[in-house]
Amino acid sequence: MTSAGKRIVIPPRVTIPIGPQHPALKEPGMFKLTVEGEHIVDAEVNIGYNHRSIEKISENNTHLQNLYLASRICGICSATHNGNYAQAVEFAAEVEIPERAKFIRTLIWELDRIHSHILWLGVAFHEVGFDTAFMLSWRDREIVMDMLENISGNRIHHDMSTIGGVRRNISDAQKEQMLKGFDKLEERVVFYRDVAIHEKTFWNRIDGVGMLEPPIAKKTSAVGPTGRGSGLKVDVRFNDPVQAYIPMIDTGDFEMVLSDRGDVAGRSVVRVLEVIEAINMCRWLLNNMPDGPIRARVRPRIQPNEVLARHEAPRGELIHYLITNGTNKPDRWKVRAPTYNNWTSMAHCLRGDYLADAPIILAAIDPCYSCTDRVVIVDGNGETIRLVSLDNLRIESNKWHKEHPRRE
Amino acid sequence: MARLGKIQPELMKNVRSKQATVRYPFVKAGINVPEGLRARWDYKVPERCTGCKICERVCPAEAIEMIKCRPEDSQTKTGFRPICHLDRCVTCGQCVESCPRGVLILTDSFEMAFLSRDDMVVY
Amino acid sequence: MQTALDATIQLLAQALAVFVFPGILFITFLALLWQWIDRKVYARLQNRFGPLHTGWRGILQPLMDFVKLLGKEDLTPKAADRRSFAAVPVVMLVLSLVSAMFLPIIDMDPGTSGVQGILSFEGDLVFLLFMSTLMAITIVLAGYFSSNRYGQTGSARTGMLLISFEIPLVLALVTPALLTGSLRLSIITHELSKLSPAYIWLMIIPFIIYVISLQAELERIPFDVSHAEVEIVHGWQVEFSGKKLAMINLAEDIMLVFGAGMVTALFLGGPLLLEFIPIPLFSVEFAGFMATTWVGWVYYTLVFIFKSSLVIIVLSNMRTAFARWRIDQIVRAAWKFMVPLAIINLVLVQIALTYIFPILGVV
């Protein structure tokens, strides 16, 4: 009572780092959370721990070798990078690939989406401590993994697409086996959908958490299930279809899965329903697959061209920008993976929520760290890591390009 | 709407059913190796090899090296033969696809753990 | 000379009781066994095998983990309060062992009626509650002593758990004490076993409340917020390693033994099983035989292990079936649901004892 005025008690602000190494993150990334008690008041997203200079390596490789390099950008969505690079080279060479190859490529993409989304569901269960559903959902993910292994000969790096088509055909026996597998898978996915929606402890953790309002989602250019969970109509499969998506979407049997919830629950529901949709798409693709060759011959030297290949990866829109120069090597290859777009919305999602919600919010955009890391300047002598702003980067890169003119 | 213990019937079902885990290194049964698995590289038909070096050129991981034919090998036309360094091999199978004479193959033996790098060279 | 010999034998027997059979060694054995059962059940419900390769179906795996942790490097953070930091695991282990010694596993004092634990005195129920609260406070201190942000967050959450679930826990224990008019664990067990079966109806709600609160007290899913691994990296345990972590893990397992033993003693009839069959052969002669001879020691132990492992299976099932709740949801659930339920239950018990049971003629 001695001091004049009111005393305002504020809990001390503490900065809690999540990462670079943290049990909630499967890959290195850093999130500095400023918390007051359990409330997050500020969040800072630092990435850049996993730069592998893949784009630089690609300039010394042939297009054929780059296919395998592209598939190893990310383990989970390897088919999308692989297929999208093949598509980009085909666009540049201006060749049309056989119908059956288109169908098989699309089938692999959809299978990849199924396994990626079930994997995400398991991770989401794990992030809120629901280990049983995590174990069970990953057990049932094996069904689709076995399918992919059966078709392509490898569990993770399918490498099915090649320039001018696909590498392996699908036999009738495999088709029957897959159709049988889809029935089981659909039953299981419906069960996990029910668990996610009706299990109170899980639903309480995702309901109303990490709100991303549609205007902010649009402003931060959220893509994929993150955007669709906020009601944005962003899906390259429907907006700008390629390959066998064109006849498939034209049937009108398939719809874009949207949710207007905008929270983590919305994103979860979008992903789970998308799995069911993808299973139906796979069924359609298998049943309507035309006969014919699976591969067109493409000359290794690609004419000079500049193309942009878009594809809906499991995490969102994936862009491969390719400049070819008449040799069998790319002049420039730029990958913009979907997670890179979704980072920006993350800081907004984190603010105002509980510290305990941070892992599930981080996981909700299904981050793929190794796809996204681009620019970080590491000074080996001073042992410092410097993040560079876009303007500075532009100035520095202009300077670099002036000193190193493009080879003709 | 949301209620507690939604997953409980599934748990009871799990108690009755067989475990999903495969006791792999101890019991080999239960793992299904599909036909056409891409695993260990093999120099299958040495007689047909011409030593053209296409496999070396297409390999994205630089795992294939062309060496001079040793006396015990079947001699190729150019006097070179491929060997594979499994530590670098990514089992993409591009060499198998590019080989014009069907010399190479990826077998389905997937157990590729070794104690030294020297053991990982496939002749 | 004879008295000296007798005194020495007496002393040896007591030392044996404290250190070996129902005492420290046996409780440690039970702790490791419970951990194995817990892990096996948890794995079985998830369609996995669980530990397999150490001993028969991996039964020695908890022991191996303990021994392995003993051999690991023991680190103390620079910022930590060194002495307090080193004292925490020891204090926790001692607290849990002392609590577990009250469990009525075998009859240590045949003179008194009922099955007595190693330690037993009038009012020990209150003492045990005090001990378990002290355990939670030690956990809070453990987090703050380690001077780690995750640890401090974990400590704060433990404190929140303490204020939310300690109250239903205590209120649930009031019912058995009320029914028997005693605060001594052994007397409560003994008196409850003599009551008419109609009293089972009064014990159901406190049993459920106690098991749920026990899950919170032991900090297991869905209440494991204070060492949630993906949120705050095992919370207050984050800085402990090597021997200290081994001791903490053992202390937690012993608390599991203690918790399951309390449920057994207070709600499931303690180490009595066949005595409940309403035939004189069992309820009189068999009970008398077991209470007076050494066969009782084996029998009581086996029954105790059997009943406790049933409790462990229930607790493991709870751990399997739920996701982790957020701390605010836990506090809300505790104060909006558990505490009112416990209070209503007490009122119901009073009404039943005063009005309903006399009308029905239940003795």
ipTM of the complex, rounded to two decimals: 0.85
**Is C326 in contact with A22 (Cβ distance < 8 A)?**
no
Contacts of A150 in chain B (CB under 8 A): 34-35
Tell me how many residue pairs between chain A and chain B have CB atoms under 8 A apart: 73
Residue A373 reports pLDDT greater than 70 = no
Interface test with B, best of A54, A142, A199 (most B CBs within 10 A): A199
What pLDDT score was predicted for residue A1?
45
Return the residue of C nearest to B26 by Cα.
C53
Q: State the nearest Cα–Cα gap between B59 and chain A, in angstroms.
A: 7
The domain in which residue B93 lies consists of 34-122
Highest mean pLDDT among A380-384, B20-24, C192-196: B20-24
Cβ C188 vs Cβ C182: under 8 Å? yes
Tell me how many residue pairs between chain A and chain C have CB atoms under 8 A apart: 76
**Is C49 in contact with B23 (Cβ distance < 8 A)?**
yes
Please tell me which of the candidates C156, C229, C321 has its beta carbon nearest to residue A132. Answer: C321
SS3 content of chain B, % helix, strand, coil (to 5): 20, 15, 65
Contacts of C45 in chain B (CB under 8 A): 11, 14-15
Q: Position A40: which residue type? A: I
Query: Would you say residue B25 lies in a domain?
Result: no
Helix (H, G, I), strand (E, B) or coil at A395: helix
Query: Would you say residue B115 lies in a domain?
Result: yes
What pLDDT score was predicted for residue C36?
92
Interface test with B, best of C46, C47, C54, C324 (most B CBs within 10 A): C47
Give Cβ neighbours of residue C125 (< 8 Å, ≥ 6 apart): C173, C177, C183, C184, C185, C188
Helix (H, G, I), strand (E, B) or coil at B64: strand
Return the structure tokens found at C111.
């003179």
Q: What is the mean pLDDT of residues A248-257?
A: 85
What pLDDT score was predicted for residue A296?
87
Contacts of A191 in chain B (CB under 8 A): 10
Q: Number of folded domains in chain B?
A: 1
Grade residue A383 by pLDDT with cuts at 50, 70 and 90: low
- Structure letter (DSSP) for residue C354: I
**Is A356 in contact with C326 (Cβ distance < 8 A)?**
yes
Helix (H, G, I), strand (E, B) or coil at A46: strand
Q: State the nearest Cα–Cα gap between A155 and chain C, in angstroms.
A: 22
Taking only residues 10 to 29 of chain B, the set having a beta carbon closer than 8 angstroms to any beta carbon of chain C reads 11, 14-15, 17, 19-21, 23
Question: CB-based contact (8 Å) between A328 and chain B?
Answer: no
Query: Would you say residue B108 lies in a domain?
Result: yes
CATH number of the domain where residue B87 is located: 3.30.70.3270
List pLDDT tens digits, range B37-78: 888 888 888 888 888 888 888 888 888 888 888 888 788 888
Residue A59 reports pLDDT greater than 50 = yes
Question: CB-based contact (8 Å) between B116 and chain C?
Answer: no
Return the residue of C nearest to A128 by Cα.
C324
Query: Would you say residue B3 lies in a domain?
Result: no
Interface test with C, best of A18, A39, A123, A128 (most C CBs within 10 A): A128
Q: Which residues pair with A36 in a beta bridge?
A: A13, A39
List pLDDT tens digits, range A331-370: 888 888 888 788 878 878 888 888 888 888 888 887 777 6
pTM for this entry: 0.86
Rounded CA separation B92/A328 (Å): 19
Q: What is the mean pLDDT of residues A228-248?
A: 86
Q: What is the mean pLDDT of chain B?
A: 84
Query: Would you say residue B7 lies in a domain?
Result: no
- Structure letter (DSSP) for residue A356: G
Please tell me which of the candidates C49, C52, C321 has its beta carbon nearest to residue B11. Answer: C321
Cβ C259 vs Cβ C37: under 8 Å? no
Per-residue pLDDT of chain C (363 residues; tens, 9 = 90+): 778 888 888 888 888 877 777 778 888 988 999 999 999 999 988 888 888 888 888 889 999 999 999 888 888 888 877 888 888 889 989 998 888 888 888 777 666 667 777 777 888 888 888 888 888 888 888 888 888 888 888 888 888 888 888 888 888 888 888 888 888 888 888 888 777 777 788 888 889 999 988 888 888 888 888 887 777 788 788 888 888 899 988 998 998 889 888 888 888 877 777 676 777 776 677 777 766 777 777 888 888 888 888 999 999 888 888 888 888 888 888 899 889 999 998 898 888 888 877 777 766
- Spell out the domain ranges in chain C: 29-360
Grade residue A326 by pLDDT with cuts at 50, 70 and 90: confident
Q: What are phi and psi of B106, to 5 degrees?
A: -105, 115
The 10 Å CB-count burial string (b at 16+, else e) for A10-36 is eeeeeebebbbebbbbebbbbbebebe
Query: Would you say residue B71 lies in a domain?
Result: yes
